[in-house]
Amino acid sequence: MAPVSLVSLGKAFGSIEAVRDIDLEIADNEFVVLVGPSGCGKSTTLRMIAGLETISRGELRIGETVVNHLSPGERDIAMVFQNYALYPHMNVAQNIAFGLRHRNLSRAEIKAAVLDAARLLDIEALLDRRPKALSGGQRQRVAMGRAIVRRPKVFLFDEPLSNLDAKLRAQMRIEIKRLHQRVPTTTIFVTHDQVEAMTMADRVVVMNNGVIEQVGTPLDVYNKPATRFVAEFIGSPSMNFFDGTLEAQGEDLVFRIGNGRALPVPRARGSAYSKHFGKRLTLGLRPEALSVSDASDFTIEVETKVVEPLGVETIVYFDLAGHPASVRAAPNRAPRAGETVPLSFDMTFMHLIDPEDGSVIPY
């Protein structure tokens, strides 16, 4: 239970800079998720916080203490590893108790602490078993038990759900969230799965190429992405992107896709976008900002390519002006593949992206 500060944190492996200029303030008991594609530096950042990687540059504080040069054991953190890293020659109880060795506790106290943790995670019945005799989900719980039994200042999770099947993953997501509510602790969770990031985080930190692209609440990051990378990475299916130009049409602005139709830009955006008038830009629209209907004034006819029924909704894929794109449709009104359908655009959800630096133009 302590805030964590990362100040201009950086890590270089030889001449390769894996992580640079990470500035992040994590509040006491906050649940922060570092998310990004593989190789983006999220795990390296977590390992620097854990003390498993040396810090090349910058400062790391846990609470009031600068911990750059403290060993992992001295940082009062606990970590759940991707492969759980349970000690195979110890049973569950011994695994959980291992971190309590230097706490000057009596045997009875250790036993009580282990039982407490086991009860919290519903693994009391497994205490005598070896890790080999446990299922993936049970191992996950034991790894978490080993972490919480020490009541550390900070919990670190390194992609802990990636070895589980889809159903168990969804279940463990909820359990970790519930655990955080019952045992409030500063938590830093690393994942490449944007669904995990969105569902679990108080704040999401999107990383790419060793730097932070954006920090914000899940809905912030979803609704107001700062860069094209964030817009593309967060959300499934991904945001649609159409290249075109911002043009004037009478008193209004329109976005012309390639040489095709002009889509009207909402008047409220006018002042924010006016200085980009005439530029080549990229329009970003999430699949839910499109709909298969001819209800609005500006519809475009497209031929559907692939249709994915998901039950609750159906994703329809098509090409528009050479760009692959998708739209969410109600299952009972979804077209078939190969059909030509009208598409409506809700431009109040539009994002304009400067293709030169990939930044989303603020509005």
- The footprint of another protein (CB under 8 A) covers 50-52, 71-74, 77-79, 81-83, 85-89, 98-99, 101-102, 130-133, 146, 150
Instruction: Write down the least CB distance from residue 346 to another protein, Å.
Output: 47
How many CB atoms within 10 Å of residue 326?
A: 21
Instruction: Write down the least CB distance from residue 67 to another protein, Å.
Output: 13
Nearer to another protein, 110 or 211 (CB): 110
Nearer to another protein, 63 or 342 (CB): 63
In 3D space, the residue among 260, 209, 205 whose CA is nearest the CA of residue 234 turns out to be 205
Question: Would you give the distance in Å from CA 251 to the centre of its chain?
Answer: 40
Instruction: Write down the least CB distance from residue 91 to another protein, Å.
Output: 9
Nearer to another protein, 1 or 85 (CB): 85
State both tokens at 306.
């692939």
Nearer to another protein, 153 or 328 (CB): 153
Q: What is the DSSP letter of 75?
A: G
Instruction: Write down the least CB distance from residue 73 to another protein, Å.
Output: 3
In 3D space, the residue among 74, 28, 41, 73 whose CA is nearest the CA of residue 187 turns out to be 28
Residue recorded with tokens 């329809």: 316
C-beta separation of 31 from 201 below 8 A: yes
In 3D space, the residue among 301, 300, 295, 327 whose CA is nearest the CA of residue 314 turns out to be 327
H runs (alpha helix) in the chain:
42-50, 92-97, 107-121, 136-148, 166-182, 194-200, 218-223, 228-233, 270-273
Q: Which amino acid is at 195?
A: V
Nearer to another protein, 136 or 264 (CB): 136
Instruction: Write down the least CB distance from residue 179 to another protein, Å.
Output: 18
In 3D space, the residue among 310, 321, 316 whose CA is nearest the CA of residue 339 turns out to be 316
| CA 183/CA 178 separation, integer angstroms | 9
Instruction: Write down the least CB distance from residue 92 to another protein, Å.
Output: 12
Nearer to another protein, 92 or 246 (CB): 92
